[in-house]
Amino acid sequence: MSEIRHYGYIRVSTKDQNEARQLEAMQDLGIMERDYFIDKKSGKNFDRPQYQALKNVLRKGDILFIKELDRLGRNAEEIKREWQDITHEIGAHIVILDMPILDTRQYHNGLEKVISSIVLELLSYMAEREREKINGRQNEGIAAAKNNGVVFGRPKQAISDDFIMVYEEWKQGSITAVEAMRRVEMKPNTFYRRVKEYEQQKQVG
């Protein structure tokens, strides 16, 4: 049986000044410098080469220490995916130092699956809330833009004389719908949509 290894993961941004705090936490646990992985994010870049390297060395039974849950990902959906990958696919333990309940080592006889399920459900809820907030902001932005006269969607194309001529022949029964579509080079959905638009224009006119 291979030796159980202890690893630490640290992620910091240029605005984040808690690298020292995270490092101190790893050192207090006795994790050797070679066994903790540090990613530094700058601006919008979220590449995590050290995190990927860490996942490549993690083995079943190993223990991964992380100071805070949000170090695992940018949002709840990503955190959920990484939690599942590490605990279920790799079979390693995760210990979140700032949340003692999130220590998969302390759960046995199936309880580890229960706690993982609770965590994943919580993260799913958080992810859904995040999506609702984003959608809400988008809808507010669209509504504000419309109030300012911004038009969304593809602009309608003008009905061509060729289309009108073919339309009239089709309506009179001189040609079939298939022949009409062939002549105007339109797919069925497009053809019938244009027919509807033209007929609406005629009614208004």
Starting at the edge strand found earlier in the chain, the sheet holding 36-41 runs 36-41, 6-13, 63-66, 93-96
CA distances (Å), 152 to each of 76, 141, 145, 148, in order?
Answer: 31, 12, 9, 12
From the list 2, 13, 116, 117, the catalytic residue is 13
Active site residue 13: yes
* Helices then strands, each counted (H, E), the chain: 7, 4
Q: Do 6 and 34 touch, CB atoms closer than 8 A?
A: no
Sign of the alpha-carbon dihedral angle for 86, 8, 96, 70? negative
Residues with active-site annotation: 13
